[in-house]
């Protein structure tokens, strides 16, 4: 007599995440126990109905005198290749133990059918069954079902994040021309279009924040920041200081740009970027200095590599300044190209010197 395996598939691992069930699971009693665990954790999850349907199908086959077994395999909450790899591993384990002649696949939707090619390559699939909750047919409950589905983080990332990204990107590229016209020409007639673009930009941003569960991440960051502040973390203070340096530098450079004549918009952009090189480099050095102090306080360790990183940042700043000065030499009058060449050579010399000294110092020879 041929043996049939009724296989319930949970690709996004609701049983593991919500019910803390370890899979794979084989047998009617153990599958019912897993379904009860998920029912207690989340009574409205559709995977619960899929597993009950698999158990019911297995019992019907056994009542008909057929040799049947039921099993549950789960993937990963980060749906994708990780989920399929986990499903493949659990499928191999189930097939080795049950050794069925054919398989009946049971799932709660099209998502679980991604496993169909994997299963069909290892065993003969004679039936695929999708389970729907009966109340889902009512139109009045569609909105409720949609909101419940989007309450799961992985569903939000898959469906809401792409929509939010498209709205945000389109609104951003619509906003830039209108904002540029208003700032350069002082034309207030572009305010309605600017308001429309801002609304779309905010909507896209809110969708992205909702898709990636920003509120929970913000709470976690707030708790972490509070903990580090109470612990007098030097790194956090230096991080805030480095961010302040960038913000202040951006404002000061903007007003300096307004007081400086530039023949074209391209020259103004290059000049502003050139002025922002050293505020950004200094802020990075401040952050590294905070990391050095933090390690010295917590672990009593002083790493020479951080000093070489500061030299590398300085060399990068010199090279960038030289490149920007060369660009300004060709697009704007009053700049000396020789200065740019000298800055580039100084930056390269700093980088080579830092690399040479670092290669000479072996890790065990670095002072701590």
pLDDT digits (tens, 9 = 90+) for 166-189: 998 988 888 887 777 776 666 667
Res 59: pLDDT:
92
User: Average pLDDT in the 95-112 region?
Assistant: 80
CA 23/CA 259 separation, integer angstroms: 68
When pLDDT is cut at 50, 70 and 90, the band that residue 361 belongs to is low
Res 331: pLDDT:
83
Res 80: pLDDT:
73
Q: Is the C-alpha dihedral spanning 77, 79, 83, 85 positive or negative?
A: negative
User: Average pLDDT in the 248-266 region?
Assistant: 86
Q: What is the pLDDT of residues 123-153, one digit of tens each?
A: 888 877 776 665 544 544 555 556 666 666 7
When pLDDT is cut at 50, 70 and 90, the band that residue 347 belongs to is confident
Res 41: pLDDT:
87
Q: How far is CA 154 from CA 19, 42, 208, 273, in A?
A: 17, 16, 13, 39
Angle, alpha carbons 132-136-138 (nearest 5°): 145
Residue 367 confidence (pLDDT) above 50 = no
Res 70: pLDDT:
93
User: Average pLDDT in the 350-366 region?
Assistant: 68
Of 28-32, 234-238, 344-348, the one with minimum mean pLDDT is 234-238
Q: Are 21 and 32 in contact (CB under 8 A)?
A: no
Determine if the pTM surpasses 0.85: no
Strand-pairing partners, residue 127, are: 104
Res 225: pLDDT:
66
Res 368: pLDDT:
42
Residue 248 confidence (pLDDT) above 90 = yes
Q: Which residue has the higher pLDDT, 116 or 257?
A: 257
Res 69: pLDDT:
92
76: left (phi over 0), alpha (psi -120 to 50) or beta: beta
CA 267/CA 23 separation, integer angstroms: 62
Q: What is the pLDDT of residues 22-57, one digit of tens each?
A: 889 999 999 999 999 988 888 877 788 889 999 999
User: Average pLDDT in the 61-78 region?
Assistant: 88
Strand-pairing partners, residue 130, are: 107
Mean pLDDT, the chain, rounded, equals: 80
């Amino acid at each position: 007599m041929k043996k049939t395996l009724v296989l319930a598939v949970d690709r996004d691992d609701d049983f593991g995440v919500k019910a803390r069930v370890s899979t794979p699971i084989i047998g009617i009693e153990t599958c019912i126990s897993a379904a009860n665990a998920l029912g207690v954790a989340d009574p409205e999850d559709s995977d619960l109905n899929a597993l009950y349907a698999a158990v019911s199908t297995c019992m019907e086959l056994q009542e008909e005198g057929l040799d049947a077994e039921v099993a549950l395999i789960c993937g990963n909450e980060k749906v994708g290749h990780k989920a399929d790899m986990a499903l493949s591993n659990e499928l191999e384990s189930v097939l080795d133990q049950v050794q069925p002649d054919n398989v009946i696949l049971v799932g709660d939707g099209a998502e679980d059918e991604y496993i169909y090619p994997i299963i069909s390559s290892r065993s003969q699939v004679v039936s695929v069954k999708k389970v729907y909750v009966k109340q889902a047919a009512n139109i009045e409950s569609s909105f409720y079902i949609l909101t419940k589905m989007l309450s799961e983080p992985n569903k939000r990332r898959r469906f809401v994040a792409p929509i939010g990204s498209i709205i945000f990107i389109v609104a951003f590229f619509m906003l830039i021309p209108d904002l540029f016209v208003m700032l350069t020409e002082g034309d207030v007639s572009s305010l309605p279009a600017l308001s429309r673009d801002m609304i779309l930009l905010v909507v896209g941003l809110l969708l992205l924040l909702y898709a990636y569960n920003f509120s929970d991440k913000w709470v976690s960051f707030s708790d972490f920041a509070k903990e580090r502040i109470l612990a007098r973390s030097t790194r956090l203070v230096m991080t805030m200081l480095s961010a302040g340096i960038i913000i202040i530098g951006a404002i000061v450079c903007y007003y300096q740009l307004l007081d400086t004549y530039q023949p074209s918009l391209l020259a103004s952009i290059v000049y502003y970027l050139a002025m922002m090189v050293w505020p950004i480099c200094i802020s990075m050095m401040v952050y590294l200095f905070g990391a050095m102090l933090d390690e010295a306080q917590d672990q009593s360790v002083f790493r020479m590599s951080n000093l070489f990183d500061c030299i590398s940042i300085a060399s990068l700043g010199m090279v960038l300044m030289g490149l920007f000065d060369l660009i300004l030499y060709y697009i704007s009058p009053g700049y000396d190209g020789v200065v740019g060449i000298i800055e580039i050579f100084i930056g390269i010399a700093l980088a080579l010197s830092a690399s040479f000294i670092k290669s000479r110092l072996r890790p065990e020879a670095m002072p701590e």
